[in-house]
Every structure is written in C-alpha cells, then in structure tokens.
A and B are shown apart, each in its own frame.
Chain A
Amino acid sequence: MRVLKAFIAVVALVLVALLVAQVPGGQSLLGIVLPYLAFAIFLGGFIYKVVDWAKSPVPFRIPTTCGQESSLPFIKQNKLDCPTTKTQVVGRMLLEVLLFRSLFRNTKASIHDGPQLAYGSNKWLWLFGLLFHYSFLVIVLRHMRLFTDPIAGFVAPLEFVDGFLEVGATTIYQSSFILLAAVTFLFLRRVVRPYLRYLSLPADYFPLMLIFAIGATGLLMRHVFRVDIVSVKELTVGLVTFSPAINGQIGAIFFVHVFLVCVLLAYFPFSKLMHLGGVFMSPTRNMANNSRMVRHENPWNDPNIKPHSYEAYEDEFREFMVESGLPVDKQPEPAPAEPEAGQAAPEEESKA
C-alpha cells in the first residue's frame, strides 16, 4: 500500500509533465518558471533547515566513541574512531561522508537452535549506497556540460572515464546504469526484506522511484527519443545566465525529465534527503571526545539547580554521624534537626 502510494505519485507527476508540455506556454512553465522556482525552494529550504538546526545549541559533548580513548601514553588511542583533536574529527568525518564508514560496519544477525546468535558480514547496503551516491554525483557533474559555456574543464575527463565502455554511436555512461541498478537494489531490499517493508514509509519509496524516473527519462532521452541537444543547451545556458529562451522543438521527454528534477529539488528540504546536510552536523560524529580535557559550555545550563546541600544532609543525620565517629562540621545541639522529607526504606534488592 505504501509502495503503491509512492508509485501513483510518481506516475501522476510524469503524466502531468507530459500533459503540460503539450499546452501552449506549458513548455515555458516546465522549462523556465519551474526550474527557477524549484531551485529557489531547494536553496532557500536547504539553508533554512541548516540554519534552523544550527540555532539549537549542542548542550553536551556526546560523541559516540567507537574506539580507544586517549588516556595513558602506553595505551594506543584510536584517533579516527575516538578523536580528541579537530584534525582527528575531520578525519573521522571524511571517512564517514566519503566512504560511509559506519555503514561499512554493518552485520546481519540471525538466531539458531541452542539458542545461538550469529553476526555475519553484510556489506551490500554499504556497497549499493556508495554506488548510488557516487554515480549520482558523477551524473550531476556531467550535467555541468549543459550549464557552462565554454564547458567546464572537469567535464571532458569525467565523461572520458565514465564513458570508457564505448558502445555504438552514442557513448554509454556507466554511471547512469549504476545509478539505476543501485536505486533498484535499494528499492527491492525495502520490498523484499520483511523488517524493511514493515518500517518503510511512502516517504522512503517516493524519492527512490522519483530518482529512478529521472534516470530513466534521462537515458530514454539520450538513447531512444533523441531531443534537439542544441536547443537544450541554449535553454540551460540561458537559465544560468538569466536569459532563458526555448527555441525549436526540444521533445516532450525532456520536459518530463526536467519537471521530475524540479520536483526532487523542491521536495528535498522537506524530506529525509536533508541527511545530506545533517550528516555534517550530527553531534555523535562531529565532536571530539575531549570532554574531560576541555570544558564544554552549555548556553542554557541552569545555575539554580543545586545539590541537596551538605549542611542539610548533616543536619538530618548529625546524631548518627557523631555516634558512629564520622566527622561533622557542626557539633550537635540539644534540639534535633528537622528531617527534609519522609522516605520509604529502600527495596530489598541492590540498585547500582
């Protein structure tokens, strides 16, 4: 059901684009107005979200330590998994962001007769996650051919590497196919694995299907329904230079592709896709484990919260303390001190 909802949404988006592309002025809307609007929502929304996160303080230093702390000289610190300096934190973050280090730790648990629990290696999610993100990045960078004139220097070498499997007249970029394969994997695991199906929301299927549709329309445009690439480039360069114009017949498939990209951009800041920004700001990963070395300040620390004072404690127990030979700050007076509050005796079992 949740899969279906997402599927219907993506199909509806495709149909809307096809329809709008046919009506007068529709192509300008899809090719010019919406891209500007979507990009503005993406940029504005992204910044708003990051600023909103940043507005909340990090009251406590709470890194998840995944290795040996820095303590004694003869005990080797794990600088990447338990960093104490900024440089070490940067190292940890680079591994996290560029190589998905935490996901690399993934295991698969199973229970067997005995009972016996086993934890097997399970790197598929890591592998396909990495393939997905890197092929996406390569594709975005390759698209810079359309937005730069003259074409940015990094595009040609990137295209060369990405397209080394030259088949037929049109270069095949493997990143496109890797992306589709990875998205398919990420989708299928959600549907096939029972626990993932149980916890997945429409908001998990929707972006996967949307990105699949973007990739598919892109491939169709390149290899099946050829579009007028000269007009496309005029439009895309026009968008960047704020003088957009649609000249000639580009082909409806192009507008479907662009519309889906616009939806993705506009959807981005309101969705889980914001993990792109969040991964940099997660306090369990981006903080040094140096809370005993340097005092971490909490801006809302309440100075009015005080301990139950020693004086009140001694007042309550002074007689007993003196009797059992414990030193006291004040010698007992004839009048007994007022107890603070009635307390039930502790339960029989020990509490640590």
Chain B
Amino acid sequence: MADTKAAEMKVKVVKEPSLMTGSVPTRDWWDVEAIFKPGNYCYPAKKSIVEYHGKNLPGLFGEPRDWEVESDDWVLPDNWKEIIINGIKERLDKFRSLKIFMDCCVRCGACADKCHFFLGTGDPKNMPVMRAELFRSVYRNDFTTAGRILGEIAGARPMTFKVLKEWFMYFYQCTECRRCSVFCPYGIDTAEVTMMGRELLHLVGVGTNWILEPAANSNRTGNHLGLQPHTFKENAEFLIDDIEEATGVRLESLNFNRKGAEVLFIIPSADVFADPGIFTFMGYLLIFEQIGLDYTISTYSSEGGNFGLFTNNELMKKLNAKMYAEAKRLGVKWILGGECGHMWRVIHQYMNTMNGPADFLEVPRSPITGTVFENAAATKMVHISEFTADLIHHNKLKIDKSRNDHRTVTFHDSCNTARGMGLLDEPRYILKNVCNNFYEMPENTTRDKTFCCGSGTGLNTGEIMDLRMRAGLPRANAVRYVADRHGVDMLSCVCAIDRATLLALNQYWNPEVEVCGVSELVGNALVMEGEKERETDLRFTPLAGMEG
C-alpha cells in the first residue's frame, strides 16, 4: 500500500505548495536537480535479466551490472555520453516524429495541465512540454545550428549525468498515454519522446526491473508472469470450476495449442491469473461457449501485452512476433484479442508493420454473424469488444440484463485503445446492452480525453505507490464524481493493466468502487443452456433480489 495515507494525501494534493496549487517555483528548471529517494523511482533491472536481454538483442540493453539509483555512481560505461548522442542521431534518422517533435514545439503550454502526472504531483517537469524539453535541450546542443552557436540562450545544454538522472526520473513519470497529444496544435506526442528517451536509457544500461523481468518472462515462457505451459493451462482450467459453481454449467470448449482451430484467442496473461482479470476471462469463455466458437488458446503466445513497448522497438517486435508465428503454426484463420490497452496499441499500430504481412491468415469473418471485419483486413486481428458488439447487434447472445442490476457501472477508456486505436463506442454498446445502470464520467475525462490509470507503461510496481496514487488522482476523481452522483460501484474497462492498477487506485481513493472487465459483465448477463437458477454473479456477489 502507499506510504502516505489517503486521508493525508487528500489534503496534500490541494495544500502542498506546487505549481498545481498556485505556488511559483523560484529556480529555473535547469538548476533544479532530480533527487532520488525511496518511493520516487522504480528499482533497476537485475543483472541476470539484463544479461538475458543483451544475449537476445545485443547492444540494446547496456552492460549488465548491479547499480543503485540513489547512488551518484551508476556504473555507466566510460563512453556513455557518446552512446546517448549517437543513439539520438540514429533515432533522428529513423523517426520523422522525433525530428518534428524536437523542432516544432512553440511552448504554448496547452499541454501543461493535461498530464495526469502533473495534475497529481504539481511537479513542473511533469508538464509534457517540460518533459520533452529535458530531451530537446540536449538535441539543440548537439544537433541544431542555433544551439551550437548560442548555447544556453537557445535553450541548449550538454548531456551530463544530471540530465541523465532527470531523464530516468521523468521518462518514468510518463505513461505514454498521449493525452497531451490530443491538445497539442501540432500533435506533438510525448509518448514518442518518452519512448525514445527510454530506448536511449536502455542503451547505457539504465532500465527498471518491473519492465525488463516480465519482458524476459514473456520471451521465454510466453507470458509476463512467467507461467510455464502446464501452469498456465491449470490456472485457466481452475476457472472452469468457478464458472460451474456460479452458473451450474460445465464448459467444454476450453482448449490449448490446438492445430486447425478457426480462431486463435490471445489475452493479457493476467486474465488467467489475477483477480479481477480472471472474471473477465470467465466472461470470454462463456461467450465462446454460448456461440460455439471454434477457438484455441496458445501457451506459447500466452501474452497479449508487450512490455517491449516500454523498452525499445526491437524488443517490442521480438515479443510481438510470437502472435503471427503461433497463428501460422496452428493454422488458424484469424486472431481474436482480449481486453488489454497497450496490447492493442501494439496490435493496431505496430504489429502488421513489424511482423506482417499476415498473408497466411484470412480476413476475419465472424462465423456466427457472417460479419467481415474489413477494418482488420490486413492485420487480421479483431478486438473482443468489436466481436462481441457485433454478436449483440445480430441478437446472437442470450442476455438477461437484469443480472447486472446489483451494479451501477461506469466505463474507463484505456489510453491506448482510446487514443491509439479509436475503440470508444464498441464497449459502450456492449455495456448498454448488458446492464441497466450505466453512467458516464464527466466529459473531459473520457473517450479521447480519458485519464490514464496512472500506472501504465510498466509503472504498476509497488515501490512507487505514492506517485501512482497521485498520478491516478484525475481518474479516481472522475470516478468519485459518478460514485457520489449516481452511486456507481463498478468501474469497467478493457485493459488488464487497468484491472490491476485501478483496483489499487480505487481502494485508495474510492474504496466502495470495484473494477471489472467489460466481458465479465457480459458473462454475468449471459443466459446459458442448462444453467441453474443464478444467485450470484461470476465473483459470487449476490444478484439483485438474492441478497438475503
């Protein structure tokens, strides 16, 4: 749990002097040093983990070593500055986005109070424009005429250890949520800047364990949790018992690594392992059982999520490549993807470019409704919300909405599906069809303007709880709003990181509100053949009218 009690934090975020609360910083930003202390940084990656990645992708993860963030000696290679500057050069040549975003910012400040990290901490360097300036100042110094000649007057400064520390602090206080990019008149996307910053940090061996270890697990065992094939299978099968207990129906369709299935179904691995993701998983299975979908789940490609996205594009590609490789090996026709935010950023905007073309697959077609998913014609992967919304629209699901009457529901758009895909109304369409009590959060906090859970991009680690609770405040506050006005007690979402992080966030800020996946609510409402009289939902909470 967080170091600071919620009651105390409620006062701190309003009263503590910060740029958010009206106090004015007295020193120029480049004179303020990043100071690491317990609770404000993620632990560095273990030596063995860096070694593992360095073996698979040589040169991208720096020298494996033990080092301490609070120390003034990060045991960096002697030529670390050269590595960084060459790294910037290489990325400027590879990414037009980086060049444009370095050159075009006019510092109008429209992004400043759009960042959840800024709103929650009031730290001026969490204004997206400032975060980018940490990078831009070095870029100007080494890559622009004005910076070379005018130096500090042009806002240029050389790469130093002080700057490196700032990078590590503030590129890990950004969840690449892209909210700032919505408001920027040039569409400057801090996510791109943070990604580049993190790639560069990894080059000199500065990375966090919470990201690199799951990434290593995912490479080796197929999923972030490091579940080996038999454990993954057992975990999933265990949930069949729970479904039977709640519904009286024994599902027969769950299967793994089956060649010749029509559809490969890939989920974020937390859905077979952690509460409340497991209830979302039960929802998926109930849908498939009811419609008789010919699907299989892979243990080799048992992770939808991709922590490579938070590391560098090479690792992202390597981890993602399993999806098509497995689809090809199993000979499926197309791929269906579960509820996960950053997984869908990768699938929607990167997968086919990195690991396509997927010409061995067919354009996805729902075997139940006949709908051809033209929007996935090339990538050949469909989002479960798209798939389910289509089923509902064609009346292919037997639904009893009243089975969610014991819940008052709102919906959290996850950053990646909202701003990196545009999946907004599909989940809402589903929700409105499976529950009677649904309320939207205020308009500046949803859809393309949604607020991050505060712990995305591999920041959902226990050692920075205070920071996470602050960064999640804008989201939590919007939930508070609908909880007070409408009695909302269930925050639904389509993201596995959310299901883990919003749980902690709500326990802190809104203890009466629980968290679920959209498919869980579908699962609750499905009328299954041969079911018993339903007294509880999938998490064994009594249904409305069944409380006594």
Contact = CB atoms under 8 A, between A and B. Distances in A.
Interface of A: 5, 49, 52-62, 64-72, 74-76, 78, 81-82, 84, 96, 100, 102-103, 105-109, 111-117, 119, 125, 129, 193-204, 270-272, 274-275, 278-279, 281-285, 289, 291-298, 300-302, 305-310, 313-314, 316-317, 320-321, 323-327, 340-347, 349-352
Contact of B422 (A72, A115, A275, A289): A289
Contacts of A72: 371, 386, 389-390, 393, 426
A90 B153 CA distance: 38
Nearest to B326: A310
A108 B445 CA distance: 13
Interface residues on B, range: 35 or more
B230 A320 contact: yes
A330 to B, nearest CB: 13
Contact of B107 (A108, A200, A278, A324): A200
Nearest to A279: B186
B1 interface: no
Contact of B187 (A282, A341, A346): A282
A201 B157 CA distance: 13
Interface string B222-233: 101111111001
A115 to B, nearest CB: 5
B321 A306 contact: yes
B404 interface: no
Given A66-B419, A193-B109, A195-B112, A201 B448 contact: no
Given A109-B119, A111-B13, A307 B319 contact: yes
Contacts of A59: 94-95, 313, 353
B185 A343 contact: no
A272 B107 contact: yes
A248 to B, nearest CB: 38
Contacts of A282: 97, 100-101, 104, 186-188
Contacts of B299: 321, 326
B375 A326 contact: no
B210 A326 contact: no
A272 B462 CA distance: 40
Contacts of B119: 109, 111, 117
A69 B421 contact: yes
A56 B233 CA distance: 45
A64 B184 CA distance: 11
A116 B202 CA distance: 38
B424 A292 contact: no
**Closest 10 pairs between A and B when the two form their complex, measured CB to CB:** A69-B422, A350-B274, A278-B104, A352-B496, A324-B230, A307-B321, A65-B422, A284-B187, A285-B187, A346-B226
Contacts of B448: 65-67, 81
A352 B353 contact: no
A310 to B, nearest CB: 5
B259 interface: yes
Interface stretch (B66-74, B213-221, B532-540): B213-221
Contacts of B340: 352
Contacts of A340: 220
Contacts of A292: 347-348, 352, 375-379, 381
Contacts of B222: 313
Contacts of A203: 146, 153-155
Q: Determine which residue in A96, A108, A306 has the highest number of CB atoms from chain B within 10 A of its CB, and name it.
A: A306
A114 B107 contact: no
A203 B13 CA distance: 33
Interface stretch (B34-42, B50-58, B78-86, B245-253): B50-58
11 contacts: A52-B99, A71-B426, A202-B154, A275-B105, A294-B377, A302-B317, A305-B57, A308-B220, A320-B228, A321-B229, A344-B48
Nearest to B147: A270
B65 interface: no
B113 A108 contact: yes
Nearest to B429: A75
A61 B419 CA distance: 13
A68 B277 CA distance: 26
B525 interface: no
A301 B353 contact: yes
B104 A279 contact: yes
Secondary structure of the A side of the interface? loop
Given A102-B187, A117-B119, A275-B106, A53 B390 contact: no
B107 A204 contact: yes
Q: Determine which residue in B257, B300, B449, B500 has the highest number of CB atoms from chain A within 10 A of its CB, and name it.
A: B300
Contacts of B389: 72, 75
Given A74-B393, A105-B183, A195-B112, A343 B379 contact: no
A82 B426 CA distance: 15
Interface stretch (B122-130, B159-167, B281-289, B395-403): B122-130
Nearest to A285: B187
B182 interface: yes
Contacts of A100: 185
A55 B127 CA distance: 30
A270 B325 contact: no
Given A274-B103, A350-B500, 11 more contacts: A56-B98, A61-B349, A115-B10, A196-B109, A201-B107, A278-B103, A279-B185, A307-B321, A346-B213, A352-B274, A352-B499
Nearest to A61: B349
B103 to A, nearest CB: 6
Contacts of B13: 111, 115
Contacts of A74: 393, 429
Contact of B325 (A113, A202, A310, A342): A310
Contact of A116 (B57, B97, B153, B477): B477
Interface string B116-158: 0001000010010110010000000000111000000111000
B108 A310 contact: no
Contact of A343 (B107, B216, B376, B377): B216
A117 B473 contact: yes
B500 A352 contact: yes
A62 B349 contact: yes
Nearest to B29: A198
Nearest to A194: B24
A194 B112 CA distance: 12
B370 interface: no
Contacts of B348: 291-292
Interface string B308-344: 0000011001110110011001000000000010000
A281 to B, nearest CB: 6
A58 B94 CA distance: 8
Contacts of B258: 327
Nearest to B375: A71
B251 to A, nearest CB: 17
Interface string B351-392: 011101100000000000001011111110100001001100
Contacts of B500: 349-352
A279 B224 CA distance: 39
B19 A56 contact: no
Contacts of B406: none
Contact of B184 (A54, A102, A274): A102
A76 B229 contact: no
B197 interface: no
Nearest to A6: B153
A53 B422 CA distance: 27
B528 interface: no
Nearest to A5: B153
Contacts of B318: 305-308
A115 B473 contact: yes
B103 A114 contact: no
Contacts of A61: 349, 353
B354 A298 contact: yes
Contacts of B226: 343, 345-346
Contacts of B107: 196, 199-201, 204, 272
A203 B153 CA distance: 7
A343 B220 contact: yes
Contact of A352 (B21, B354, B419, B460): B460
Interface string B268-311: 11100110010000000000000000000001100001010000
